[in-house]
Chain A
Amino acid sequence: MSTDSVLLEAKDVTRIFDVGKKQKLHANNDITITVHKGETLGIAGESGCGKSTFIRLLVQLDEPTSGEVLFHGKDITQLKGEQRRLNRRNIQMVFQDPDGSFNPKMKIGKIVCESLLNYGEIKPSEIDGTASRLLEMVELPAEFKDRYPFELSGGQRQRVGIARSLAIRPEILVLDEATSALDVSVQKSIVNLLLKLQKEQNLTIIFICHDIALLRSVSHRIMIMYLGNVVEIVPSRDLAKGDLVHPYTQALIGSIFSLDMDFNHPIESIESEMPSPLDVPSGCPFRNRCEKCIEICEKERPKLKAVGEGHEIACHLF
């Protein structure tokens, strides 16, 4: 990490959705995490574990039921009106499918400059030059500014998505499965681009991805979520096969079809699916899929405890 200054801090963030008459869905449960300047925080977990809900709170697309999100020490969840609009430029997001977030009738040049126009940083006459510069930043030819999104491949569109998000020079870039729909070789080139941009601009990145091996290679720390809870926060260097990790993290790692695995052994993986978030087990949320479940797991929800430097695990076994 280039510096130790805390840039973003989530404090006991809880988001509860009302569903049906009396049911409540705990999408995020007391999430506490700090993100440092220049750091990449990876977030992993299965579908429905609350990853996207959490980052929607960070980019102010949604508000937490309780808890605070501090950016430079100031709570941003309570911002209203113009204040809120102005703060949005600090934290920008890249989506999994840029198709769904691009206006199909807008040319690429206008797409990447839209935020700058919105915040009044450039005049419409400056679109041309600015777009060229932004496209160059993400290693795309400047001619692309006169094309439409459908004329680009998935990887090229994702580069445009990154250029658009970085146009207004945010301090934090949030990527929601931004490489998941891409071929592996394209995925690698996008990852390399992000690493380069991070170095050049001292960017802070929050990266959601279900591929824990990819996350490990690009993140400083990884936060593992399960059913709305943080079960582990682990520095990437402490995350390798056989290391001391939460049983759920172990299961995620065990399920990877790696090229260097022993193909004669059956793939390890937990049986069963994640329970519905409407029906979270008492005590430890992971207990009914955990092989190491003991008595206390049914009664008491484990809290995050430090087990090493920067390494926290929520499990009664530790």
Chain B
Amino acid sequence: MLNIQDITIQYGSHPVVEHFDLDVKPGEIVSLVGESGSGKTTVIRSVLGLLPGGGRVTDGDILFEGESLLKKTEAEMRRLRGTDISMIFQDSGAMMNPIRRIGSQFTEYLRLHKSMSMDEANKKAVDMLRLMRLPDPERVMRSYVFQLSGGMRQRVGIAMAMSFAPKLLLADEPTSALDVTIQAQIVRQMIQMRDIYNSAIILVTHNLGVAAYMSDKILVMKQGRVIEQGDRERILKHPQMEYTKKLIEAIPIMDGEIYVD
């Protein structure tokens, strides 16, 4: 469904991602892991055609259902975004207007992509919020962003992103800003969404545990290159690269050593 073929991405003359390849099948969950600055976010932004400040794909191609996304016009891309391909961010609250109620933004988003009456849009929005297990969705619709907790904001973001049953969901550190208890809830719900809509998910995260739990495939990135990839078993149990081993060792575990005496 999505084929990223040997892409190189540059900001100015400086390549930040080189020779990146990835095939994603419908319903598959793929994680990009690696440290800050390894190019994870740059890759998924390039899929949406949303590279900031002069970033561009200089080599290779990105095919979505056989068609090159790089050759599409801005108008064609806009039609894809939010419907066939959607995205959620680290803090969904930041992408929303702080002085408008959630409901008005949600229904505007729905009506922008598909013609429907205000009532239909309202109902659809409330249904999506309920599906994300937001308590009292009608009240959420009347709320402003600042009235919602981080976990609730993220649920609203996912509800919006899933509204049109996207074929591909891009998730950029969707749980990194949340408490562990809420993170676990959101991770479960994202998997549930995948099961309902059969959407493929590309997840960017620095949490190897979350990546391992969710993904069919994990790509470890370092300095703009994929240095290792494979399923959970291969990456966690039989890592080949020193860097991957170091990354795994650095994660504190509950039964691990206690360094103080």
Contacts and interface: CB of A to CB of B under 8 A. Distances in A.
Given A183-B35, A218-B260, A271 B185 contact: yes
A257 interface: yes
B183 interface: yes
Contacts, number: 113
A268 interface: yes
Contacts of B137: none
Interface in A178-195: 183-188, 191, 195
B149 A213 contact: no
B151 interface: yes
Contacts of A198: 260
Contacts of A219: 260
A256 B209 contact: yes
Interface string B156-179: 000000000000000000000001
Interface stretch (B8-16, B50-58, B242-250): B242-250
B119 interface: no
Given A255-B183, A259-B208, A263-B212, A185 B149 contact: no
Contacts of A261: 209, 213
Contacts of A214: 252
Contacts of A266: 188
A18 interface: no
Interface in B180-226: 180-185, 187-188, 206-210, 212-213
Contacts of A46: 179-182
A236 B257 CA distance: 10
A26 to B, nearest CB: 18
A217 interface: yes
A267 interface: yes
B254 A185 contact: no
Tier of interface size on chain A: 35 or more
Contacts of B185: 269, 271
A225 to B, nearest CB: 12
Given A269-B181, A273-B149, A273-B151, A259 B209 contact: yes
A270 interface: yes
B150 interface: yes
Contacts of B187: 257, 267
Interface string A194-211: 010010000000000011
A260 interface: yes
Given A184-B247, A267-B188, A251 B181 contact: yes
Given A267-B213, A271-B185, A273-B151, A259 B251 contact: yes
Contacts of B179: 46-47, 210
A220 interface: yes
Contacts of A241: 254-255
Given A255-B180, A256-B180, A260-B253, A269 B188 contact: yes
A180 B227 CA distance: 25
A253 B209 CA distance: 13
A286 B182 CA distance: 16
A171 to B, nearest CB: 17
B137 to A, nearest CB: 15
B250 A185 contact: yes
A101 B93 CA distance: 25
A154 interface: yes
A207 to B, nearest CB: 11
A267 B252 contact: no
Given A184-B206, A267-B184, A273-B152, A217 B213 contact: no
Contact of B252 (A211, A220, A252, A255): A211
Contacts of A268: 184
A33 B71 CA distance: 64
A258 B259 contact: no
A259 B183 contact: no
B36 interface: yes
A40 interface: yes
Given A184-B250, A195-B260, A273-B149, A255 B181 contact: yes
Contacts of B257: 217
B84 to A, nearest CB: 29
A218 B259 contact: yes
Contacts of B66: none
Given A184-B250, A241-B254, 5 more contacts: A46-B182, A185-B247, A195-B259, A240-B254, A255-B184
Interface of A: 40, 46-47, 154, 183-188, 191, 195, 198, 210-214, 216-220, 236-237, 240-241, 251-261, 263, 266-273
